[in-house]
Amino acid sequence: MSPGRPAAPHRGAPLPHSMQRPRLGLAALIATSLLSACGDSLDARSILRVNGSTTVNPIAAEAAEVLRDELGVEIHVDTQGGSSGGIALLGEGRIDIGMSSKPLTDEDRRRYPDARFVAHRVGEDAVALVVSADVWNGGVRSLSRESMRGIYEGRITDWSEVGGPEQRIVFFNKEPGRGTWEVFADWLYGDADDAPSVSFPEVGGNEETRNKVGGTRGAMAPLSYAWADGKEVFALALETRDGVITPTPESIGSSDYPMSRPLFLITDGDPVGDVKAFIDFVGSPLGRDIVRRHGYLPSPAVTPGE
């Protein structure tokens, strides 16, 4: 830990030549590092930044791939913080398009008074209650709202209480701020704000939810319907007054299935330039194909406002 150091030059004697050159090198190093710190901002203007919900992400990511070559502009699609994260970043002016799987609220508009949010509806999705294979194969194919409330509030703790096998219910709640959770809580309690405060293990995006539910016995979580592949996780039907409704493209499109939600691309003000091109593309027939291909329903038309 203490290697021998080369002998320091005797105080008062001139620096040997070999020690003078490193000073130039040091100056060059400092100058380069300071200059490189300025480099980033030069590129920022030609990048289109899209961020937000993991549900809308597959659509935006594929649209970005197509448009990158057509428009010749860099498009960055990311999913930081889900729907709320996208709205927050857009409100702070740090991105160009926000992705959200829940409608904008007055709270959102109030929090960012300087931003004028314009929501463009690009598709429909449903939130399904997905369970792991052992629960599905054990006979649980549907759930009522009352039973779900019982599970959420901790009153029902075993699948045998709702017609399933003897297995502890492992409910994975969605992180705060996730669009999926808001839709789920709205259905369960009429208004997400009325949902009681609970402590369950949490999951974040759709990918993590599917992985964790698929890999845990007795697991259940709210998940975007398009991600319920029927192999790792299975979507339950909902028992309502009108009967048992299975989530299918038909029942979602006709709004028979209660937990359907619109998918939005949100801009600050009316879109112009590259942003407008992106939004228009997602609403075009090619874009609607992309929406369909990822398991969602395309909206009748891309209309602003909601």
Using the rule CB under 8 A, which residue among 211, 240, 246, 248 binds other proteins?
A: 211
Nearest alpha-carbon partner for 266 in 52, 10, 54, 13? 52
Using the rule CB under 8 A, which residue among 103, 150, 165, 177 binds other proteins?
A: 177
Point out which span in 149-157, 189-197, 233-241, 250-258 binds other proteins (CB under 8 A): 189-197
Helix (H, G, I), strand (E, B) or coil at 216: coil
- In sequence order, the 6+-apart residues with CB closer than 8 A to the CB of 36 are none
Verify binding: residue 201, other proteins, rule CB under 8 A: yes
Nearest alpha-carbon partner for 278 in 12, 74, 54? 74
Point out which span in 32-40, 136-144, 169-177, 277-285 binds other proteins (CB under 8 A): 169-177
Tally of helices (H runs) and strands (E runs) in the chain: 11, 13
Measured at the alpha carbon of residue 188, what is the angle toward residues 186 and 193, in degrees to the nearest 5?
45
Using the rule CB under 8 A, which residue among 51, 53, 84, 224 binds other proteins?
A: 84
Task: Show the binding pattern over residues 92-131: x = contacts other proteins (CB under 8 A), - = does not.
Answer: -------------------x--------------------
Quick one: 219 or 265, whose CB is closer to other proteins?
219
Using the rule CB under 8 A, which residue among 49, 102, 212, 261 binds other proteins?
A: 212
Using the rule CB under 8 A, which residue among 175, 232, 256, 306 binds other proteins?
A: 175
Point out which span in 57-65, 69-77, 83-91, 240-248 binds other proteins (CB under 8 A): 83-91
Sign of the four-CA dihedral 240, 56, 270, 66: negative
Residues 2-41 contacting other proteins, CB under 8 A: 12, 14-15
Task: For residues 94 and 85, give the distance between their C-alpha atoms in angstroms, rounded to a whole number.
Answer: 11
Residue showing tokens 């040091």: 26
Question: Which amino acid belongs to residue 116?
Answer: R
- Read off the tokens for 280: 């228009």
Verify binding: residue 85, other proteins, rule CB under 8 A: yes
Question: Which amino acid belongs to residue 187?
Answer: W
Contact (Cβ atoms closer than 8 angstroms) between residue 102 and residue 86: no
Verify binding: residue 170, other proteins, rule CB under 8 A: yes
Q: Interface with other proteins by CB under 8 A: which residues?
A: 1, 12, 14-15, 80-82, 84-85, 88, 111, 168, 170, 175-178, 193, 195, 197, 199-202, 204, 211-212, 215-216, 219
